[in-house]
Chains A and B, each alone.
Chain A
């Protein structure tokens, strides 16, 4: 079949164009596979926190697919510009439009087949390797990987759709041009890009909308759609802004004569402007990938850093039993005996009596009990006397006054409406040493302190629960054994029993695997970013080579060449990192609220981790920049 031959011929002949395209696609297939395999081939979903992690992974997957689709689309457009000339020649030689369509179809199918097969293999190998090495590093023993075909099937389908869209788009463009145009189009050098004011404004609006959604979104079960919307808006907006705004910016720089007519700026501004149509998309991809690296690292590192707080949040004591009634004498007796048996001494016993927490939503100054996908908090009440005793404070409350303890919720209202009554908030207290998380749920606890039992009951008419805890001392192993035996002896289910030592191990494993995921994603994204930057530099190096040769004949010295290159590459490189930090700024509220699903409310940790991560990213980015600049320079200066 002649069409197949021509397709293969073109693919192998223009290696310098098709190889980078295949490589970048391979990378996207591999990345997508890794995400899918983490979602479907691991036991991550098995517990409640894992389910949230899974949810975040799915958001990440959508993000990756979007960037993959957009950048593949873009890369193929550049590739097909090359191909246009060839197709023009064929059509002059007598091939019909239908034949040309077949060639386009075959060529893209070949790309698709090569990329999915090799990408799949790479993905499997990479995720296996990553799992093994990182497991050895972190000992995340609770995370297992099983091999199923589901991720492969999904990858194949996702990329089939992307390539199908590309093929249709190519067909559509083929329909618009006749053979003579086809021929003429490719021979003409790239015209200077036009400024698209309308697109630029649209891009900014889309981006602003995306930012708005991500700042306002609340991490409830219903928010998945909103998160996706935010991601889509930010991705599309970034591409539009980078492609259009960068052109406008460069044109403005060129208009400024005192800036433009300096040796460095003169060369770099014109070079960049000339290639901005391709450049913009690449920069947008780099910027978005950097954003994702920041988000993944910041989220997972903050979680691990905040891990200790989480246990303290669950229970104020080393061992805590939550029950509908105070422990019976025989139960206490049993516990004492177990303590003796395991050489554990008990101290600081504390019983906190609160009304059974109800699930619900705090909206404005109104608490509404409800249990559905919108649920955010658990709500319960206690009397002032108890609070003063535990906290050693001397608050006085009138019958319509309350204290509010709501970690992670910045409650700034003067009043609180609950069950038809309105209460004056005397103070939002910052500490409550009796606070615990009922049933280890992922909702934020809210405690309301009322003047007396009666009012507490009015606020929340549920029966009392008794959180009874004590600290233990002894060897670690003994304390653990003791805690497990107490639970077995009292026959209480794990959600109402907290032991810091048992829990600590569990959480360590749990967060270890989250950290592992964050690092894995970051590694994948770093690889992707580096690849993009590398190919950008290499391909531009070859494109600019001729220009630099001419300029050296006119009198551009080596030193000046170096300076011009530095100025050009630096501008190109600073834009994405600025974009990434800006994106991150708007993503932080969303990260914060997702982290609160993991009961991580500590803003200070989040900010510290963010700053450190941004610093690390900028440094590594600079290193990549230096390395690739050298490659670029070597290509440009080579004769």
Chain B
């Protein structure tokens, strides 16, 4: 059975209003354990909406969504919180680190919420901070480190719970090319270790690191690419071609 399964997901904002928006019309796909999936599409296509629904931060208007066999659209608010904490990790474009904590405590946050012991948290953090190269940043405040470093701290926070699924919404959107490269190679490495990743991105370069790319347009999945055994540059070219097709198609319509 797949790790994540979406069937005919539909999302309508302000239903029945004049300002009604059909953000997602009919989205179905599934993600296997160990997958690395990129989601691309124009601004306003509904990528963030889709991610929020998978993240249990929002509920679909209709359709089924299952993660680890749990039907997400039926969760109560408190159950959703618990589910997020135990099964999901998040990385955001704007880092979303808390200024009130130092970096170490920012990373500990989800574990503290799960009432884990301090010893447990320390044991978890040690290998993780090494993988991410943030051992020397832990005692500093988020305001005292660079954007790329912040994103690595945020990734550590997302991974420290061993989530079944790592969700990332434009994780490199606020970073320069050098830092983007670093973050993407981190993702690649943790994926190789078995971490399932679902990443929304605007950058073809970022998507080229993934094994699979979904293209969303007007609230529907428009196209899907698999990397297979292509080289990165070959795959990148394919993604760019697809994007061009996506855009020109938009103009024709």
When the two chains form their complex, are residues A558 and B121 in contact, meaning their CB atoms are under 8 A apart?
no
Q: Which chain B positions have C-beta within 8 A of A281?
A: none
Binary contact track B220-233/A, C-beta < 8 Å → 1, others 0: 00000000000000
When the two chains form their complex, are residues A555 and B101 in contact, meaning their CB atoms are under 8 A apart?
no
- Can you spell out 19 A-B residue pairs with CB atoms less than 8 angstroms apart? A189-B99, A191-B143, A192-B141, A261-B112, A261-B117, A263-B112, A274-B100, A550-B97, A552-B81, A553-B90, A554-B84, A554-B90, A554-B113, A555-B82, A555-B85, A555-B113, A557-B78, A557-B81, A560-B113
What is the size category of the interface that chain B forms with chain A? 20 to 34
**CB-CB under 8 A for A554 and B121, given A263-B115, A559-B78:** no
Q: Does B105 contact A (CB under 8 A)?
A: yes
Q: Which chain A positions have C-beta within 8 A of B157?
A: 554
Task: Give the Cβ gap from B24 to chain A, nearest Cβ, in Å.
Answer: 20
With beta carbons under 8 angstroms apart, the residue of B84, B102, B105, B118 that contacts A555 is B84
When the two chains form their complex, are residues B143 and A258 in contact, meaning their CB atoms are under 8 A apart?
no
**CB-CB under 8 A for A555 and B81, given A188-B143, A189-B143, A191-B141:** yes
When the two chains form their complex, are residues A261 and B113 in contact, meaning their CB atoms are under 8 A apart?
no
Q: Which chain B positions have C-beta within 8 A of A560?
A: 81, 113
Task: Give the Cβ gap from B148 to chain A, nearest Cβ, in Å.
Answer: 18
With beta carbons under 8 angstroms apart, the residue of A550, A555, A557, A559 that contacts B98 is A550
Q: Does A424 contact B (CB under 8 A)?
A: no
Q: Does A547 contact B (CB under 8 A)?
A: yes
Q: Which chain A positions have C-beta within 8 A of B85?
A: 554-555
When the two chains form their complex, are residues A557 and B110 in contact, meaning their CB atoms are under 8 A apart?
no
When the two chains form their complex, are residues B84 and A266 in contact, meaning their CB atoms are under 8 A apart?
no
CA–CA, A552 to B128, complex, Å?
23
Q: Does A271 contact B (CB under 8 A)?
A: yes
With beta carbons under 8 angstroms apart, the residue of B88, B114, B118 that contacts A258 is B118
When the two chains form their complex, are residues B100 and A547 in contact, meaning their CB atoms are under 8 A apart?
yes
Binary contact track B62-92/A, C-beta < 8 Å → 1, others 0: 0000000000000001101110111010101
Q: Which chain B positions have C-beta within 8 A of A273?
A: 100
Total A-B residue contacts, Cβ distance less than 8 Å: 77
Q: Which chain A positions have C-beta within 8 A of B108?
A: 261, 266
Q: Which chain A positions have C-beta within 8 A of B88?
A: 555
What is the size category of the interface that chain A forms with chain B? 20 to 34
Q: Which chain B positions have C-beta within 8 A of A553?
A: 55, 57, 84, 90, 92, 96
Q: Which residue of A lies closest to B119 (CB)?
A: A257
CB neighbors of B among A250-265 (8 A): 257-258, 261-263
Q: Which residue of A lies closest to B115 (CB)?
A: A263
CA–CA, A257 to B112, complex, Å?
11
Q: Does B109 contact A (CB under 8 A)?
A: yes
**CB-CB under 8 A for A554 and B110, given A190-B99, A273-B100:** yes
Q: Does A17 contact B (CB under 8 A)?
A: no
When the two chains form their complex, are residues B77 and A554 in contact, meaning their CB atoms are under 8 A apart?
no
Interface centre among B80, B98, B105 (most CB of A within 10 A): B98
Task: Give the Cβ gap from B73 to chain A, nearest Cβ, in Å.
Answer: 18
The A interface is mostly helix, strand or loop, or mixed, namely: helix
Interface centre among A188, A257, A555, A558 (most CB of B within 10 A): A555
Task: Give the Cβ gap from B195 to chain A, nearest Cβ, in Å.
Answer: 18
Q: Which chain A positions have C-beta within 8 A of B81?
A: 552, 555-558, 560
Interface centre among A188, A191, A192, A559 (most CB of B within 10 A): A192
CA–CA, A273 to B97, complex, Å?
17
Q: Does A270 contact B (CB under 8 A)?
A: yes
Q: Which chain B positions have C-beta within 8 A of A556?
A: 81, 113
Interface centre among A188, A191, A547, A550 (most CB of B within 10 A): A550
CA–CA, A449 to B183, complex, Å?
96
When the two chains form their complex, are residues B96 and A270 in contact, meaning their CB atoms are under 8 A apart?
no
**CB-CB under 8 A for A555 and B141, given A189-B99, A257-B118, A266-B105:** no
When the two chains form their complex, are residues A270 and B101 in contact, meaning their CB atoms are under 8 A apart?
yes
Other A-B pairs beyond A261-B112, A553-B57, 9, CB < 8 Å:
A188-B143, A191-B141, A261-B118, A266-B108, A550-B97, A553-B90, A555-B84, A557-B78, A558-B78
Q: Which chain B positions have C-beta within 8 A of A189?
A: 99, 143
When the two chains form their complex, are residues A547 and B98 in contact, meaning their CB atoms are under 8 A apart?
yes
Q: Which residue of A lies closest to B85 (CB)?
A: A555
Q: Which chain A positions have C-beta within 8 A of B109?
A: 266, 551, 554
When the two chains form their complex, are residues B118 and A274 in contact, meaning their CB atoms are under 8 A apart?
no
Q: Which chain B positions have C-beta within 8 A of A550?
A: 96-98
Binary contact track A182-210/B, C-beta < 8 Å → 1, others 0: 00000011111000000000000000000
CA–CA, A551 to B84, complex, Å?
11
CB neighbors of B among A206-265 (8 A): 257-258, 261-263
CA–CA, A558 to B77, complex, Å?
7
Q: Which residue of A lies closest to B109 (CB)?
A: A554
CA–CA, A257 to B105, complex, Å?
11
Q: Which chain B positions have C-beta within 8 A of A270?
A: 98, 100-101, 105
When the two chains form their complex, are residues B112 and A266 in contact, meaning their CB atoms are under 8 A apart?
yes
CA–CA, A558 to B98, complex, Å?
18
CB neighbors of A among B210-245 (8 A): none
CB neighbors of B among A481-539 (8 A): none
Interface centre among B80, B81, B90, B92 (most CB of A within 10 A): B81
Q: Which chain A positions have C-beta within 8 A of B143?
A: 188-189, 191
Q: Which chain B positions have C-beta within 8 A of A547?
A: 98-100
**CB-CB under 8 A for A557 and B96, given A191-B143, A261-B108, A266-B105:** no
CA–CA, A129 to B109, complex, Å?
53
When the two chains form their complex, are residues B57 and A261 in contact, meaning their CB atoms are under 8 A apart?
no
CA–CA, A263 to B113, complex, Å?
5
CB neighbors of B among A307-364 (8 A): none
CB neighbors of A among B10-60 (8 A): 55, 57
Interface centre among B92, B113, B157 (most CB of A within 10 A): B113
Q: Which residue of B lies closest to A265 (CB)?
A: B112
Q: Which chain B positions have C-beta within 8 A of A558?
A: 77-78, 81
Q: Which chain B positions have C-beta within 8 A of A266?
A: 105, 108-109, 112
Task: Give the Cβ gap from A188 to chain B, nearest Cβ, in Å.
Answer: 7
Q: Which chain B positions have C-beta within 8 A of A261?
A: 108, 112, 117-118, 121
CA–CA, A320 to B117, complex, Å?
79
Q: Which 4 A-B pairs have the closest CB atoms?
A: A555-B85, A557-B81, A274-B100, A555-B84
CA–CA, A257 to B115, complex, Å?
13
Q: Which residue of B lies closest to A254 (CB)?
A: B105
CA–CA, A559 to B113, complex, Å?
12
Q: Which chain A positions have C-beta within 8 A of B118?
A: 257-258, 261
Task: Give the Cβ gap from A105 to chain B, nearest Cβ, in Å.
Answer: 32
CA–CA, A334 to B57, complex, Å?
97
Q: Which chain A positions have C-beta within 8 A of B114?
A: 555
Q: Which chain B positions have C-beta within 8 A of A262?
A: 112, 115
Q: Which residue of B lies closest to A561 (CB)?
A: B81
Task: Give the Cβ gap from B104 to chain A, nearest Cβ, in Å.
Answer: 11
Q: Which residue of A lies closest to B99 (CB)?
A: A189
CA–CA, A188 to B145, complex, Å?
12
Q: Which chain A positions have C-beta within 8 A of B92?
A: 553
Q: Which chain A positions have C-beta within 8 A of B117?
A: 261
CB neighbors of A among B103-143 (8 A): 105, 108-110, 112-115, 117-118, 121, 141, 143
CA–CA, A551 to B111, complex, Å?
12
CA–CA, A257 to B120, complex, Å?
12
Interface centre among A189, A261, A266, A271 (most CB of B within 10 A): A261
CA–CA, A271 to B82, complex, Å?
22
CA–CA, A191 to B21, complex, Å?
42
Binary contact track B141-178/A, C-beta < 8 Å → 1, others 0: 10100000000000001000000000000000000000
CA–CA, A553 to B48, complex, Å?
14
